[in-house]
Chains A and B, each alone.
Chain A
Amino acid sequence: MKTNMFFKIMQAGGGRPIGNWFAAVTAALTVVLTHGARADDFIVYSPYVTKGQNEIELRGFTYRDGSADTNGAGGYELAISHAFTSWWKPELYLGRFERNPGATTHLVGYEFENTFQLASAGEFWADPGFLLSYESNKQHGTPDAVEFGPLFEKRSGRIDQRLNLIWEKQVGTGASGKYALRSAYSVNYRINVKFAPGLEAYYRPGDNAYQIGPFLSGELPATAGSEFEYSAGVVFGVNRGAPDQTFVARLEYEFF
């Protein structure tokens, strides 16, 4: 029975076999996860919320670097979400895991994240949203953190651009009084639903890390109304504070 359901999902979307795509994305994700720091650094959030939509998301990254202290480090996280309204989507990170070079993977914490869509698509020049999240850290001596900031998305024909400006403030015992800014930008060109090549850039002055690199993303229709979304790429450090290369993979299953 389970095999039949798996086969149906793989063959869905008007009979188009997506098994090969799925296998390729899963393989990329596996490579990243088995080599794996902060997984939520390598995502460019969309402000859009669809009422009633559920998501299961797995994403991860791993570093390649000339320094033994960094090379091979990585992380991944698993999250689920449900959009209760057309403007609010809470997301629960069931686990955030990290691995330091030469060490085993360990749980670093949980996160409760909220995305708010602030306007209808097309109402303004760019579609705005807002991110608000709370990170609960399980590592001794690491304070919890609150993250917040605006999200923007702009569609122009086949071109899609996103911009995030996110501030992080540590809270609780040992918390720093500073607000750390990080920014992320992506642009891609949708050749078709399955292929949208583009670029992602990450600006993290708090970590003295600036990165940019190519990405490939796309959607793989599954059963009616549900789909897999994948993205994978590599960002290159453009300054000495950033790892030489960071391999990133994300896989998301969206359904109603």
Chain B
Amino acid sequence: MLFRFMLAVALPGAFALSGFALAADPLPVLVIHGQQFEPRELALLAGTKLKLVVRNRDALPAEFESYDLSREVLVPANSEVTIYVGPLEPGRYQFFNDFNRAMQGTVVAKRN
């Protein structure tokens, strides 16, 4: 009986904790700041679909674009958008700001 009670308490607790841990996992973030991408090389896990935050801290809108990643998304000034990328094969994937082509960066997808 005690075992069942402990199980009944422990299982939801374990789920709650695992959920908390998942929620606390930081999403990869690509920051636009000072007319540059930070980091310029963003390492991502290959083989899985990932949520990526593109955060624009500049006072100008940016257009995150990548033919390699098949994405094009406008990021207003001082705001952020969320996109999904992948699953990616291991390799390098170029991206740029379509409003300022001098701003370029690379996603580097690696296996664990």
Residue of B nearest to A122 (CB): B84
Main secondary structure of the interface of B (DSSP, over half): strand
B53-95 interface code vs A (CB 8 A; 1 in, 0 out): 0000000111000011011111011010111110000000000
Question: Does A2 have its Cβ within 8 Å of any Cβ on chain B?
Answer: no
Q: Is the CB of B60 within 8 A of A156?
A: no
- Give chain A interface residues in 204-242, CB to chain B under 8 Å: 219, 221, 224-225, 227
Q: Is the CB of A122 within 8 A of B61?
A: no
Q: Is the CB of B98 within 8 A of A256?
A: no
- Determine the chain A residues whose CB is within 8 A of the CB of B84 once the complex forms: 120-123
Q: Is the CB of B70 within 8 A of A155?
A: yes
Question: Does A50 have its Cβ within 8 Å of any Cβ on chain B?
Answer: yes
Question: Does A193 have its Cβ within 8 Å of any Cβ on chain B?
Answer: yes
Q: Is the CB of A50 within 8 A of B74?
A: yes
Q: Is the CB of B77 within 8 A of A225?
A: yes
Question: Does A102 have its Cβ within 8 Å of any Cβ on chain B?
Answer: no
* A221, B97: Cα distance in complex, Å: 12
- Determine the chain A residues whose CB is within 8 A of the CB of B100 once the complex forms: 224
Question: Does A157 have its Cβ within 8 Å of any Cβ on chain B?
Answer: yes
Q: Total interface residues on A, using CB and 8 Å?
A: 23
Q: Is the CB of B61 within 8 A of A193?
A: no
Q: Taking A122-B85, A221-B99, A225-B99 as contacts, is the C-beta distance between A51 and B68 under 8 angstroms?
A: no
Question: Does A136 have its Cβ within 8 Å of any Cβ on chain B?
Answer: no
Question: Does A158 have its Cβ within 8 Å of any Cβ on chain B?
Answer: yes
Q: Is the CB of A122 within 8 A of B72?
A: no
Q: Is the CB of A157 within 8 A of B67?
A: yes
* B37–chain A nearest beta-carbon distance, Å: 17
* B97–chain A nearest beta-carbon distance, Å: 11
Most buried by A among B51, B70, B71, B83: B70
Q: Is the CB of B60 within 8 A of A224?
A: yes
* A159–chain B nearest beta-carbon distance, Å: 9
* A205, B67: Cα distance in complex, Å: 36
- Determine the chain B residues whose CB is within 8 A of the CB of A120 once the complex forms: 51, 81-84
* B66–chain A nearest beta-carbon distance, Å: 9
Q: Is the CB of B77 within 8 A of A121?
A: no
Q: A122-B49, A123-B84, A224-B99 are in contact. List 16 more A-B contacts (CB 8 A).
A: A48-B73, A50-B74, A52-B76, A52-B79, A120-B51, A121-B71, A121-B81, A122-B71, A122-B84, A155-B71, A221-B99, A224-B60, A225-B60, A225-B61, A225-B62, A256-B77
Query: Which A residues are within 8 Å of any B CB, using their own CB?
Result: 14, 48, 50-53, 86, 120-123, 155-158, 190, 193, 219, 221, 224-225, 227, 256
Pairs A-B, 10 closest by C-beta atoms: A122-B84, A225-B61, A50-B74, A155-B70, A121-B83, A52-B76, A123-B84, A120-B82, A224-B60, A157-B67
